[in-house]
């Protein structure tokens, strides 16, 4: 279905008279993004769910839209004033308390990883994990566990494995001092730290299967 047909369907069936083929084409190119009502209408015209158009949701807004929920639905369910929730979503910065956070996770059916991302805790998690692999991992079991409710033994195993892997790369830089192998090991260590949150979730997934 071309942009002309999509635009016509959104105008005729969903009462969005301003939608033009050029606007639809801009959505396709990714130069602009549809609003919540526009995305719902677009999904209706294309006979799919909003979630299928979004792909893997990352932001608070994307998770809400992928579930077909209005801002009012989320605000009411988690116990927030509508305006307060709207501001959080626009800023992509969740500031709810623990009870509201649990309600948000339940309403949006968030995985543990998505919950950490949506509530803006990725940066703090990365900071803790970098410290765990570069110093004594044992000292970070409790701080990480406070942020992420996991079985303590499982968390210990994952942090220890990450620490061992990173320290092994650092030892390699000393063993191959000055050579290309040392440079490669150093690059690998830097990449490990840069992508440490991804490594954490990957190791956690492997450990639970």
pLDDT tens per residue, range 47-91: 877 766 766 677 888 888 778 788 899 999 999 999 999 999 888
Question: Do residue 181 and residue 143 come from a single domain?
Answer: yes
What are the two backbone dihedrals, phi and then psi, of residue 127, each rounded to the nearest 5 degrees?
Answer: -60, -45
Is 108 in the same domain as 63? yes
Reported as a pLDDT band with limits 50, 70 and 90, residue 127 is very high
Is the separation of the CB atoms in 6 and 42 below 8 Å?
yes
Q: Which domain holds residue 15?
A: 1-55
Could you tell me if 135 and 89 lie in one domain? Answer: no
The residue with tokens 């988690």 is: 78
Spatial contact of 150 and 159, defined as CB atoms under 8 Å apart: no
- One domain for residues 134 and 184: yes
Whether residues 155 and 197 fall in one domain: yes
Where residue 175 falls among pLDDT bands split at 50, 70, 90? Answer: low
Residues 174 and 150 placed together within one structural domain of the fold: yes
169 and 186 share a domain? yes
Looking at residue 35, what is its pLDDT? Answer: 74
Q: State yes or no: pLDDT of 155 exceeds 80.
A: yes
For the whole model, what pTM was predicted? 0.67
The answer, yes or no, to whether residue 27 has pLDDT greater than 80, is no
Same domain, 131 and 193: yes
Under a CB-based contact definition with an 8 Å cutoff, are residues 133 and 166 in contact? yes
Do 96 and 126 belong together in one domain?
A: no
Counting the structural domains of the chain, the total is 3
What Rg do the C-alpha atoms of the chain give, in angstroms? 22
Instruction: Give the CATH number of the domain where residue 100 resides.
Output: 1.10.260.40
Instruction: State the average pLDDT over residues 3-31.
Output: 85
Same domain, 188 and 126: yes
Give me the pLDDT at residue 26, please. 83
């Amino acid at each position: 279905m071309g942009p002309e047909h999509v635009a016509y369907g959104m105008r005729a069936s969903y009462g969005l008279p301003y939608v033009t083929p050029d606007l639809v084409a801009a959505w396709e190119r990714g130069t602009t993004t549809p609003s919540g009502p526009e995305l719902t209408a677009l999904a209706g015209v294309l006979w799919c769910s909003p979630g299928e158009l979004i792909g893997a949701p990352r932001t608070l807004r994307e998770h809400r839209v992928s579930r077909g929920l209005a801002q009012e639905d989320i605000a009411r369910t988690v116990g927030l004033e509508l305006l307060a929730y709207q501001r959080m979503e626009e800023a992509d910065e969740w500031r709810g308390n623990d009870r509201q956070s649990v309600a948000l996770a339940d309403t949006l059916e968030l995985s543990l990883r998505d919950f950490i991302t949506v509530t803006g805790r990725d940066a703090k998690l990365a900071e803790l994990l970098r410290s765990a692999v570069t110093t004594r991992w044992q000292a970070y079991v409790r701080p990480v566990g406070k942020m992420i409710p996991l079985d303590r033994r499982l968390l210990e195993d994952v942090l220890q494995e990450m620490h061992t892997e990173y320290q092994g790369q650092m030892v390699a830089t000393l063993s191959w001092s000055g050579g290309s192998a040392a440079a490669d090991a150093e690059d690998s260590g830097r990449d490990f730290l840069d992508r440490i949150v991804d490594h954490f979730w990957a190791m956690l997934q492997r450990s639970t299967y």
